Amino acid sequence: MAARQTWTVDRLHHALPHSASRQQLLADVNLTPIDELSAVLDRWVAAAEALQVAAPRIAAVRPQHTTASSGDTAVDHTADVLRDAGHRADRKPGRGAS
């Protein structure tokens, strides 16, 4: 492996592949006492470096483990939810909390 990369919290954040792990990193950084922060960040650096080392192997086996079959694709229903939650002329005004 090449020389050790200089890590920042931002670089760690971008190196993590999932939003849950990125949120956990930020929570750990924000909630850890200052005198313990170095050890916490060292653990996150080790995790990010392990992910970087594993990335080529993950990419190599990913096509063999796809869950979609023959043209099936995931459908994003976000637009439908936003559309349905918006104003509609046929909807009667609500009474709020009364």
Query: Token pair 């653990």 is at which residue?
Result: 43
5-24: pLDDT as tens digits: 799 999 999 999 889 999 99
Q: For the whole prediction, is pTM greater than 0.75?
A: no
Q: Cα separations (Å) of 78 from 19, 71, 73, 84?
A: 18, 21, 15, 10
pLDDT at 97 over 90: no
pLDDT at 91 over 80: no
Average pLDDT over residues 39-65: 89
What is the average pLDDT value for the chain, to the nearest integer?
79
**Comparing 9-18, 37-46, 62-71, which segment has the lowest mean pLDDT?**
62-71
Q: Which of 54-58, 62-66, 73-77 has the highest mean pLDDT?
A: 54-58
